[in-house]
């Protein structure tokens, strides 16, 4: 596999704070290629030999805006088992319902745009239903839970100019931990 030529913006870049624009269909050839490049990059970041060879940080999601393009597109790559992945390509997402139950990642959320350790709790819904479009513009609904629900919410935040660190109370990073379920 060849590492795609993708530049991921760092948290100091003001573009990450922009609200991404709705995508108009049909997608351009460049957009389709960029989506595939993002998926390949994420897969390679999760495969130890490539992670080491190219000095990659493992990531499971990437929003278009993180590559400098403020369009409402994100991709998630879920490793099902060694070397087997499920791809999510989500365009123009809207959360239409969510659980009352809130969860958080015990070891803390990470982000390919934040190149430092960040401690603290990021409360997320345990389950969400999202309306979105596929690469051909066809509408669909998807219900996700647990870690994939967290990834979806993290990436949707990016599309709205929000970073996960914005959810952490700087004075009390573990505030209200007892109210949420750790995963």
Strand order in 84-98's β-sheet? Answer: 61-63, 73-81, 84-98, 127-133, 139-145
For residue 1, what pLDDT band results from cuts at 50, 70 and 90?
Answer: confident
**Neighbour-count burial of 76, counting CB atoms closer than 10 A to its CB (0-12 exposed, 13-18 middle, 19+ buried):** buried
For residue 81, what pLDDT band results from cuts at 50, 70 and 90?
Answer: confident
- Output the pLDDT for position 4: 95
Domain-embedded: residue 159: yes
Indicate the number of domains in the chain: 1
Domain-embedded: residue 142: yes
- Output the pLDDT for position 82: 78
- Residue 67's H or E segment, with its range, is none
Which tens digit of pLDDT belongs to each residue from 8-56? 999 999 999 999 999 999 999 999 999 999 999 999 999 999 999 999 9
For residue 80, what pLDDT band results from cuts at 50, 70 and 90?
Answer: very high
Domain-embedded: residue 2: no
Distance CA 42, CA 36 (A): 10
Domain-embedded: residue 3: no
Residue in 78, 155, 178, 182 annotated catalytic: 155
Domain-embedded: residue 1: no
Domain-embedded: residue 65: yes
Domain-embedded: residue 143: yes
Domain containing 168 equals: 14-182
Residue 155 annotated in active site: yes
The CATH number of whichever domain residue 38 belongs to comes to: 3.90.45.10
Domain-embedded: residue 111: yes
């Amino acid at each position: 596999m060849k590492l795609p030529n993708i530049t991921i913006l760092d948290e100091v870049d003001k573009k990450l704070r922009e609200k991404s624009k709705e995508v108009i269909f049909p997608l351009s050839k460049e957009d389709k290629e960029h989506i595939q490049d993002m998926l390949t990059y994420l897969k390679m970041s999760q495969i130890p030999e490539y992670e080491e060879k190219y000095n990659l940080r493992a990531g499971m999601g990437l929003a278009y805006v993180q590559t400098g393009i403020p369009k409402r597109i994100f991709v998630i790559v879920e490793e099902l088992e060694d070397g087997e992945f499920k791809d999510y390509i989500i365009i123009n997402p809207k959360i239409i319902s969510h659980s009352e139950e809130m969860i958080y990642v015990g070891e803390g959320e990470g982000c390919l745009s934040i190149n430092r350790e960040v401690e603290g709790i990021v409360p997320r819904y345990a389950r969400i239903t999202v309306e979105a479009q596929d690469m051909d513009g066809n509408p669909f609904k998807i219900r996700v839970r647990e870690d994939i629900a967290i990834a979806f919410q993290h990436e949707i935040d990016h599309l709205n100019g929000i970073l996960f660190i914005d959810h952490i109370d700087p004075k009390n990073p573990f505030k209200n931990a007892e109210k949420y379920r750790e995963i």
